[in-house]
Amino acid sequence: MSNNAYTHDAYETIHKSGNVSYVSHTTPNSVKTECEIPAPVKYVVPIIFIPGIMGSNLKDKNDKEVWYPGLSTLLAYRRRDARQRQIDLNPETTTVGYDGDLKLNKKQLPYITEEIARARGWGSVITIGYAKVLIYLENQLNNPFKKLSEHQQEQFNGTAEWEKIVDAGNKETQDILKNWSSTKAVELLNLEQHEELADYAFPVFACGYNWLDSNMNSADKIADRLNNEVMAQVKKEYPTAKFKKFIIVTHSMGGLVARALIQNDKVKDKIAGVVHGVMPASGAPAVYQRLTVGWDGWKASTGIINKFKAWLTAPMFGDTSERLTAVLASAPGGLELLPFANYSNAIDFPKNPKAWLILKANTPTGEITASLPQTADPYTEIYQRKDSWWAMINADFIDPAGLVAKKIDQDGYDSIFDIYVKNIEAVRKLHDHIKDSYHSNTYAHYGADTEHQSFGQVVWRCQEVLNISSEQELIELMGLYGKKNLIELPDIVKERKTTRSENTDKQADDSTGQEDDTNVTVQGSKAHNLNGNAYKKDGVREILLDEKSRISKTNKATFCLDIKPTSRGDGTVSYQSGQDVRANTRTPKATFMINGYEHSGSYDHEDVQLNTIYCIANIVDIMKKSAQDCK
């Protein structure tokens, strides 16, 4: 194009047949006019963004907005007590809300109207942490080249962003690659890989989901959405292009959803690859921490601004154990973030590589350290225990609104805690289903930052010196030496009467529907131990000890939970969990350890954004070569 010509955009018309035509302005011969029209794309590869926990908007059955985080709802959500939180954030009465706030960029993406953004699900995810990456991916993937007027022969004609990762790169490239910290040498994209992007359209969709529900159920609902709403919108926007496959991009818990999604028969053959971001790949001890002390992110945050933001929003998430337990104890999705059975802590705790729950106490002869889990079953050993002083769940906090109690008789359970135990079984099922599930074309990044430490392990420390000599005594301290809270109740014994012709009587009873007669006798009284839990306040457990045991001088043992995390990470997910995708049995295409951000805002970071389009371009190239091999 010449520099002196008048340029304008063409008018696009999509006909009923699906064909597309363009009409240019008419101008006098004396006016030099040039018009650019886009070459029609051959293929469509929808980019599906799946957010993390609390990243999707939720409504209840009455269309009430129960989770639409933002400045307008901050105060209201901060005021919700445990009872109201249980009512509002109930997985059985909530569904995804698609009408949330939008942030659009008319300068970069003039064609993304509010109508298109909503049709693509952008309103189903919160804008904080996600609006920027949706715009970035849409812009960079669909506009990888400079304008034609800026093209020059024998020079790279991609945009400045792509120039960093194509061919020889530019002056920023080496610093970027250093920040990516890959397990193997990073090969920049070649010119052909970049140029082949011109054949594709990459419409970016956001798939919010009910993060209170099981991730297995969420994956199934997303599979339905991909096959219906997403495909319908793709056909509407690109009527003449051929659909190839989906590429999934995940944040945090969205990675667990995706690992179930890639096994779903409805869509598993339609997924070209997955890019995981800051995924708690083998779970997060931070879930135990927060269930016992409340959402305390501000105590672990770095920098005054980040600490203030975390402090301000903590009550919205649930700043006490009571407020948080009221929601998560009945929410399989949140509980599924607990550490998996294959969580590995070999570097920080080589004595017991499975361990992430650490108990410490000083004795007259030195410190005793016990570690849990001791088996490959944290579900039974930790999550379902209520008779230990270090129990994760305070049963008194599960049902402040009485919603769970209604299910006891209805579903045949004995107690409220039994229904929570059922939820842990759902956790076990999901973990078993996805623990070794990674797409063959997997790329992933995670944080291992000393500036954003996370809970790779959770530590309880006893304030008193204890006269014990073994780890097992420390683990079972309350059961072994706790002061018994005894109550005398009548010892009632039921004895069935016997008859001379018992068989005949039994047949007669069976025919009449009557029960055998019984004798009821009271044989004195019987002592029952009504040991409660050791909860004293958030982050503190106190055991009243039997004086005869002489375990401590004060006849009590007080345990406090360490508030400061000690493992490298991103402020939420520790490196131990993030690096599961790098484990010896895994075969990802590439993994990257990228630092410099906090967990919730990872996709706002420039290195993460650039790495994501790099990974997507590689998946496209793999997909293209695979199609050629099949011919």
* Residue pLDDT, tens place only, 47-83: 999 999 999 999 999 999 999 998 888 888 889 999 9
2 has a pLDDT exceeding 60: no
Q: Which whole number is the average pLDDT over 274-285?
A: 98
Task: Name the nearest CA neighbour of 480 among 426, 536, 404, 531.
Answer: 531
Task: Quote the DSSP letter at residue 514.
Answer: P
Question: Do 294 and 279 belong together in one domain?
Answer: no
Task: Name the nearest CA neighbour of 310 among 575, 51, 607, 599.
Answer: 599
Q: Which two tokens stand for residue 130?
A: 């996600």
Does a structural domain hold residue 405? Answer: yes
- Per-residue pLDDT band at 510 (split at 50, 70, 90): very low
Does a structural domain hold residue 117? Answer: yes
Please identify, among 402, 436, 470, the residue that sits at the C-terminal boundary of a domain: 436
Question: Do 275 and 291 belong together in one domain?
Answer: no
DSSP sequence for 535-604:
EEETTEEEEEBPGGG--STTSEEEEEE--S--EEESSSSBHHHHGGGGSTT---SEEEE--SS-GGGGGG
Question: Do 491 and 614 belong together in one domain?
Answer: no
Residue by residue, what is the 3-state secondary structure of 196-241? HHHHEECCEEECCCCCCCCHHHHHHHHHHHHHHHHHHHHHHHCCCC
Say how far apart CA 56 and CA 49 lie, in whole Å. Answer: 11
Pair 261, 289: CB distance under 8 Å: no
Number of residues in the chain = 631
Pair 392, 382: CB distance under 8 Å: yes
* Residue pLDDT, tens place only, 132-178: 999 999 999 999 999 877 888 878 899 999 999 998 888 899 999 99
Q: Which whole number is the average pLDDT over 464-479?
A: 97
* Residue pLDDT, tens place only, 98-110: 999 999 999 999 9
Reported for 305-311, long-range contacts at CB under 8 A and 24+ positions apart, including other chains, are: 306/598
- Per-residue pLDDT band at 532 (split at 50, 70, 90): low
Does a structural domain hold residue 79? Answer: no
Q: Which residues of 267-290 are buried (b: 16+ CB within 10 A; e: fewer)?
A: beebbbbbbbbbbbbbbbbbbbbb
Report CA-CA distances (Å) from 606 to 180, 254, 601, 602: 11, 20, 11, 9
Q: Which residues contact 288 (CB under 8 A, 6 or more apart)?
A: 338, 339, 356, 357, 382, 392, 458
Does a structural domain hold residue 165? Answer: no
Question: Do 103 and 203 belong together in one domain?
Answer: yes
- Per-residue pLDDT band at 257 (split at 50, 70, 90): very high
386 has a pLDDT exceeding 60: yes
Say how far apart CA 134 and CA 408 lie, in whole Å. Answer: 44
Say how far apart CA 188 and CA 617 lie, in whole Å. Answer: 11
Residue-level pLDDT at 75: 85
Task: Name the nearest CA neighbour of 347 among 561, 568, 585, 587.
Answer: 568
Question: Do 241 and 103 belong together in one domain?
Answer: yes
Q: Which whole number is the average pLDDT over 522-539?
A: 68
Report CA-CA distances (Å) from 45 to 534, 570, 626: 54, 31, 15
What residue ranges in 10-46 does DSSP mark as E strands? Answer: 11-14, 20-23, 33-36, 43-44
Residue-level pLDDT at 306: 64
Element (H, E) at 625: helix 606-630
Question: Do 112 and 224 belong together in one domain?
Answer: yes
Question: Do 322 and 400 belong together in one domain?
Answer: yes
Residue-level pLDDT at 1: 44
- Per-residue pLDDT band at 587 (split at 50, 70, 90): very high
- Per-residue pLDDT band at 285 (split at 50, 70, 90): very high
Please identify, among 379, 402, 436, the residue that sits at the C-terminal boundary of a domain: 436
Q: Which two tokens stand for residue 470?
A: 């073994």
Q: Which two tokens stand for residue 85?
A: 């939180």
Question: Do 543 and 472 belong together in one domain?
Answer: yes
527 has a pLDDT exceeding 70: no
Say how far apart CA 20 and CA 238 lie, in whole Å. Answer: 10
Does a structural domain hold residue 233? Answer: yes
Say how far apart CA 150 and CA 160 lie, in whole Å. Answer: 12
Report CA-CA distances (Å) from 505 to 403, 495, 509, 517, 518: 45, 16, 6, 11, 14
Q: Which two tokens stand for residue 539?
A: 């982050």
**Gap between the terminal Cα atoms of the chain:** 39
Torsions phi, psi for 220 (to 5 deg): -65, -40
Does a structural domain hold residue 398? Answer: yes
- Per-residue pLDDT band at 509 (split at 50, 70, 90): very low
Question: Do 279 and 384 belong together in one domain?
Answer: no
DSSP sequence for 88-115:
HT-TTTEEE---------TTT-TT--HH
Looking up tokens 């805690």 gives 417
* Residue pLDDT, tens place only, 308-335: 566 566 667 788 999 999 999 999 999 9
Range of 28's domain? Answer: 6-36
Task: Name the nearest CA neighbour of 531 among 544, 541, 548.
Answer: 544
Task: Name the nearest CA neighbour of 186 among 454, 443, 380.
Answer: 443
Q: Which residues contact 69 (CB under 8 A, 6 or more apart)?
A: 54, 77, 126, 128, 313, 316
Q: Which two tokens stand for residue 175?
A: 């610093």
| Mean pLDDT over the full length of the chain | 89
Question: Do 382 and 468 belong together in one domain?
Answer: no
Q: Which whole number is the average pLDDT over 590-609?
A: 96
Task: Provide the whole-model pTM.
Answer: 0.88
Counting the structural domains of the chain, the total is 4
CATH of the domain at 124: 3.40.50
Report CA-CA distances (Å) from 559 to 388, 454, 555: 12, 21, 13
305 has a pLDDT exceeding 90: no
Does a structural domain hold residue 338? Answer: yes
Helix axes 416-434, 254-261, angle to 10 degrees: 60
Q: Which residues of 186-208 are buried (b: 16+ CB within 10 A; e: fewer)?
A: beebeeebbeebebbbbbbbbbb
Residue-level pLDDT at 34: 74
Question: Do 372 and 427 belong together in one domain?
Answer: yes
Does a structural domain hold residue 91? Answer: no
Q: How distant is the alpha carbon of residue 374 from its chain centre?
A: 25
Please identify, among 561, 586, 605, the residue that sits at the C-terminal boundary of a domain: 561
Question: Do 117 and 250 belong together in one domain?
Answer: yes
